Amino acid sequence: DTGVSQNPRHKITKRGQNVTFRCDPISEHNRLYWYRQTLGQGPEFLTYFQNEAQLEKSRLLSDRFSAERPKGSFSTLEIQRTEQGDSAMYLCASSPETGGNEQFFGPGTRLTVL
Amino acid sequence: LAKTTQPISMDSYEGQEVNITCSHNNIATNDYITWYQQFPSQGPRFIIQGYKTKVTNEVASLFIPADRKSSTLSLPRVSLSDTAVYYCLVGDWAGSSNTGKLIFGQGTTLQVKP
C-alpha cells in the first residue's frame, strides 16, 4: 500500500508528557499537511509543508506544538506538556505540487490525554 | 475562503438516491467546489470536484447551478457502506499563492438503513 501512513495509530498519555507522531506521505508528494479533528467536528488545519519548508501555521498550533519535515520526506508532530484539551485525532495529508484540492489523508493518530 | 452550509444529518435506505445540498453564497469566481467523504476512524477521502454545471465520476455526481451559490452531491443507489460524513468545501486551490489548506465544516452525517 503506497498511501499515507501514520504512527502510532493510538497514543494514550498522561497530562504533562510529551508525545511525537510520525507521518509518511506518498513518496512523490511534496506538500504535506497536518490537521486535528475532535469528535463531531471536521478536521482543522494545523500546518503545511512544501518539501522541507514549513510555510503556514494555524494559530491553533500553540508554542507547545512543533512540526518538522527534514529532507522533505516524512514529518513529525510533537506536542510538549500535553493537556487534556489536546485529545483528538491528528491527521496527516499529502498532495503533489499541482494537486489542488485533492489531498490524500492517512488514517490518523488518536491521542488521549488522561 | 467561502463559508459553506450543509445539513447536519440525513437518513436514507439502501438502494435510494441521496442528494446532499451545500450552500456557498459567497463563492468567488476562482473557487472550486469539492466534496470529501469520511468513514469513522479514517481520514477524509476526496470524492469529486467541480466548477460549474455537472460532474460525474464512478462514485457520485455533482450538480452546480449557473449562479454557483449552491451545489448538490448525488449518490446513486446507496448501500450501507455509504454511511459516512460528507464534507462540502469551497476554495481557490489552483491559485499559485494558495497553500491548498482545506477548511472543513461539520459536514453531513449520512446514515443508510437496511
Percent of chain A residues topping a pLDDT of 70? 97
Mean predicted confidence (pLDDT) in B18-43? 93
B-chain CB neighbours of A91 within 8 Å are 43-44
A56 contacts B99? CB cut-off 8 A: yes
How many A/B residue pairs have CB atoms within 8 Å?
Answer: 68
Tell me the sheet residues that pair with A13.
A113
pLDDT band, very low/low/confident/very high, at B101 (cuts 50, 70, 90)? confident
Decide if pLDDT at B20 tops 80.
Answer: yes
State whether residue B105 sits within 8 Å of chain A by CB.
Answer: yes
Candidates A105, A12, A3; CA nearest to B85 is A105
Decide if pLDDT at A88 tops 60.
Answer: yes
Tell me which of B59-63, B81-85, B87-91 is least confident: B87-91
Residue B32 Cα distances to B11, B19, B75, B92, B105, angstroms = 27, 19, 20, 6, 16
The DSSP result for A36-89, as a single string, is EE-TTS--EEEEEEETTEEEEE-TTS-TTEEEE-GGGS-EEEEESS--GGG-EE
Decide if pLDDT at A17 tops 80.
Answer: yes
B42 contacts A45? CB cut-off 8 A: no
Decide if pLDDT at B4 tops 70.
Answer: yes
Decide if pLDDT at B92 tops 90.
Answer: no
State whether residue B103 sits within 8 Å of chain A by CB.
Answer: yes
Residues 63-82 in A contacting B (C-alpha not used; CB under 8 Å): none
B-chain CB neighbours of A48 within 8 Å are 99-101
